Amino acid sequence: MSNNNQFDHILINQPREFDAVEGGQTQYPVKSAVLGGIEGVKSRLNCTNIQQKIKALKDALLYGDKGLELVIDSLQDESSRIKSAAYSLLQTRQEEKIKQVLSEYNSWEKMTCINTLEGHLAPVFSLTITADGKTIISGSQDETIKVWDLYTGELKSVINASERVYKVTVNSDGKTIISGGGSYRDKPENTIKLWDLQTGELQKEIGLFQSLISDISVNSNGKSVISGSNYSKIQIWDLQTGNLSKTLTTKSLLGTTEVAISPDGKNLVSGNRNQTIKVWDINSGELKYDFSSDSKGTISLAFSSDGTRLIAGCDDATVKVWNLKYKKLENILEGHTEFVTSVAISPYGQSIISASNDKTIRIWNLLTGEIQCVLSGHLRKIFCIAISPDGKNIISGGLDTTIKIWGVK
């Protein structure tokens, strides 16, 4: 650490003339015993005096990124005056992250269906959006993968998968579609398939499954893919060689329905139709710990962008928020009336998006659990959702065979 950085680190945590007096409501500036630095600001933000909290918000901006996070968190305060003050302060900032946070904060209540894509002949089971935010990939029971333009709704290409497609995703190279699914035909031999996004040509098949492939997830480094199936095994495959790298045994008689990889690529989480969510070390294959849930089963999983929280969509119509740092259930979000089939988290981690068999999409505040918006428009059950990288669009698909694009007009 340079001398300058050491000096900055010392200064940021020192008492300043605007810090709060410990245990009191003294006005500013103060001269005596103080709660120093960022901790003093936090203390003042926890008081009941609105004026002091607003002053603390202004002072928080003097403490760099940590202070900025306090102001962002205050957008979810119970007081409308505090929310307004935080919003006004953040409007003066030019950082791209802040612009995105404010865009997300404003947009949910204004979101509506801006386009409906028709073309699939059977339920849509899976959706993903490419990293550049321009292209939608959909997988369906009609045994096709379709590629759409997100902005125009144009159907760009159709891939004949010759089996039901339960999951589609795109590798980090942005060039390869990876699909999983299967057939109910006699003695099925199913594989993970890699397709060229531009040409639709089949590039490679990985594995040989005697059961349906219920879920796949690609590591952020683009080198491996994890599969869940109707059997009690999770398998990790090398994308380049197609070889099986590791097998994890869940001991679940109901198979593994969901798999998700943490943003840092170190942890794997699996869910199934019993009451347990398991957290694994990807490199060693060891089971680190598990969560016991009151739900009969987990239908969808998603990590927060910082990897500290796990979101589970459950068959008891709830969304459960698990804190991975403290290994505990942090919140239960109630509002859906049927199975929660798909969950996602907004790009900057402020909101949870959930879809359900009750034909609605709900948007929740991640920190408070408060419902921010309910989207209705599908005629039948919703099976899948995805959110664009810039957070401006949600896409959904389901039993009515349509894909809906949600955004602000």
pLDDT tens figures, 120-158? 999 999 999 999 999 999 999 999 999 999 999 999 999
Q: Which pLDDT does position 320 carry in this prediction?
A: 94
Above 60 in pLDDT, residue 395? yes
Q: Is the pTM of this model over 0.75?
A: yes
Q: What percent of the chain has pLDDT over 90?
A: 46
Q: What percent of the chain has pLDDT over 70?
A: 87
Residue 375's DSSP bridge partners are: 361
Least confident of 3-12, 163-172, 174-183, 394-403: 3-12
Task: Find the DSSP H helices in 201-245.
Answer: none
**Hunting for tokens 């994308």 — which residue is that?**
239
Above 90 in pLDDT, residue 88? no
Above 60 in pLDDT, residue 23? no
Contact 68, 86 (CB under 8 A): no
Cα–Cα distance, 387 to 399 (Å, whole number): 19
Q: Which of 170, 197, 196, 168 is nearest to 180 (CA)?
A: 168
The residue ranges of every structural domain in the chain are: 3-93, 110-407
φ and ψ at 282, to 5 degrees? -65, -40
Contact 28, 50 (CB under 8 A): no
Q: Is the dihedral of CA 360, 363, 369, 370 positive or negative?
A: negative
Cα–Cα distance, 206 to 228 (Å, whole number): 13
Above 70 in pLDDT, residue 43? yes
Q: Which pLDDT does position 184 carry in this prediction?
A: 67
The per-residue pLDDT for range 24-38, each reduced to its tens digit, is 333 333 332 235 688
The per-residue pLDDT for range 303-316, each reduced to its tens digit, is 988 889 999 999 99
Average pLDDT rounded to a whole number, residues 102-112: 78
SS3 at position 3: helix
The per-residue pLDDT for range 210-258, each reduced to its tens digit, is 778 888 999 888 889 998 876 768 889 999 999 999 988 877 656 566 8
DSSP character string of 318-331: EEEEEETTTTEEEE
Least confident of 11-20, 230-239, 372-381, 395-404: 11-20
Q: Which of 153, 143, 100 is nearest to 121 (CA)?
A: 143
CB contact set of 216 (below 8 Å; sequence gap of 6+): 167, 169, 178, 179, 180, 192, 225, 226, 227, 228, 259
Q: Which pLDDT does position 158 carry in this prediction?
A: 98
For domain 110-407, give the CATH number: 2.130.10.10
Contact 244, 264 (CB under 8 A): no
Could you tell me which residue, 401 or 76, shows the higher pLDDT?
401
